Amino acid sequence: MVLTPAALIFSTLTVTAYVIANFIYLRFRKTPLNPVITTTVALVAILVLFDIPYETYMEGGDWIAFLLGPAVVALAVPLYKHRQLLQKNLVPIAAGITAGVLAGLVSGTLFTRWLGFADELILTVLPKSLTTPVAMQIASTIGGIPSLAAVFVMVAGFTGILLGPYMLHALHIDSPIGRGIGLGASAHGLGTAKAFEYGPESASMSSVAMTLAAVLGALLSPLVAWLLL
Amino acid sequence: MKIIRIIVQLLVLYGFLLIGEAIQALLQLPMPGSIIGFLLLFGALLLKIYPLEWIDAGATFLLSFLSLYFIPATVGVVDYGPLFSGKGVWLLPIVSISTLITMAAAGFVSQYMANRQAAKKEVS
């Protein structure tokens, strides 16, 4: 990370776009206006329009992405605040998250293999249901492509919040624990935001699920990759 | 004063990250250093080695803009346009279906186990 003019321009541009996107989202509150989507689309449009290579953009982008690591560490604080909820429901939470993480890793690997995708892409799809910072770091640890992994995490998140509620309803998953763990383990932060609509207990469950799924996913991804590839 | 406290706590978070990364490199673990840092901080909080008040403000501040930090990565999709115009477009339904399978498994198992636990308590 070097402080070049490009670094200054593109980090400022990213923060500005993000602030505007959040403002728009808070004003209209429509799911497709999610700030991550709108900011990404706006920045991609600018890069394409002005023919700016991604590498040049990343001189500034790196300064922002630098905060991902400390942010993952910081996730310990909300989990610690929910420790009583976790203690009281330890068995159902642990069982549900283990089942979900395994189902996600195995199904993702098998589907991509059946369609004959290269190992690099399979390893990129693998951590899709984990919170973005963790998914990206896992992807780079096991040999996937971090920026593409972040895109799949978004696809997983939007699938979870747009189609998930119908599926939960159809399967009679209607308790705060079932909904919360289901949304958090599969659709990470976006799922947790959705879980708030079911009530505070579902939201807390989802937040716990998101964090624990990330930890378990970090442990199991290399193992599943090693076993199935 | 609050700003100084937040800055100091952010540095502490960064310290946990550095320790996590050092452990990862030292033991050659196939796990991101940030997750190791996370586990260390969570352990330190649980064991009351490190008090919550010394990290709460910084962590809450940092996490309130979490989605900003991965935008530079999602912008990277700009380099993968050709992938999605070909066979790679199949990766999208794969990710969606696998996500729903994940949700069904996690939701069903946790609810089933919770109901079983509740039923057991009623019997005893």
What pLDDT, on the 0 to 100 scale, is given for residue B58?
Answer: 97
The whole-number average pLDDT for the span A180-194 is 93
Choice among A32-36, A95-99, A107-111, A174-178 with the minimum mean pLDDT: A32-36
Picking from A90, A162, A155, the residue whose alpha carbon sits closest to that of residue A129 is A155
Judging contacts by C-beta atoms under 8 Å, the chain A residues touching residue B33 are 69
Q: What ipTM does the predicted assembly reach?
A: 0.92
pLDDT digits (tens, 9 = 90+) for B17-59: 999 999 999 999 888 899 999 999 999 999 999 999 999 999 9
The Cα A124–Cα A143 span in angstroms is: 8
pLDDT tier at B73 (50, 70, 90 boundaries)?
A: confident
Q: For chain A, which residues make up each domain, given as ranges?
A: 5-66, 76-228
In chain A, residues 62-121 whose CB comes closer than 8 Å to chain B: 62, 64-65, 67-81, 83, 89, 91-93, 95-104, 107-108, 111-112, 115, 117, 121
What pLDDT, on the 0 to 100 scale, is given for residue B109?
Answer: 98
pLDDT digits (tens, 9 = 90+) for A121-159: 999 999 999 999 899 989 999 999 998 999 999 999 989
How distant is the Cα of A185 from the closest Cα of chain B, in angstroms?
7
Of residues B85 and A89, more confidence is placed in A89
Mean pLDDT computed over every residue of chain A? 94
Judging contacts by C-beta atoms under 8 Å, the chain B residues touching residue A144 are none
Q: For chain B, which residues make up each domain, given as ranges?
A: 1-69, 73-124
SS3 of chain A: CCCCHHHHHHHHHHHHHHHHHHHHHHHHCCHHHCHHHHHHHHHHHHHHHCCCCHHHHHHHHHHHHCCHHHHHHHCHHHHHHCHHHHHHCHHHHHHHHHHHHHHHHHHHHHHHHHCCCCHHHHHHHCCCCCCHHHHHHHHHHHCCCHHHHHHHHHHHHHHHHHCHHHHHHHCCCCCHHHHHHHHHHHHHHHHHHHHHHHCHHHHHHHHHHHHHHHHHHHHHHHHHHHHHC
What pLDDT, on the 0 to 100 scale, is given for residue A211?
Answer: 94
pLDDT tier at A34 (50, 70, 90 boundaries)?
A: confident
CB atoms within 10 A of CB B88: 16
pLDDT tier at B124 (50, 70, 90 boundaries)?
A: low
How distant is the Cα of A199 from the closest Cα of chain B, in angstroms?
16
The whole-number average pLDDT for the span A64-72 is 92
Say which residues have a Cβ less than 8 Å from residue A204's Cβ, sequence separation at least 6: A82, A85, A180
In this predicted structure, the answer to whether residue B8 has a pLDDT above a threshold of 70 is yes
Distances A25 to A15, A34, A35, B69, B71 between C-alpha atoms, Å: 15, 6, 6, 18, 16
Q: B117 and chain A: CB distance < 8 Å anywhere?
A: yes
Of residues B99 and A190, more confidence is placed in B99
Q: B28 and chain A: CB distance < 8 Å anywhere?
A: no
Tell me what percent of the residues of chain A surpass a pLDDT of 90. 82
The Cα A163–Cα A182 span in angstroms is: 12
Picking from A189, A209, A219, A217, the residue whose alpha carbon sits closest to that of residue A94 is A209
Say which residues have a Cβ less than 8 Å from residue A25's Cβ, sequence separation at least 6: A33, A34, A35, A38
What pLDDT, on the 0 to 100 scale, is given for residue A196?
Answer: 85
CB atoms within 10 A of CB A163: 16
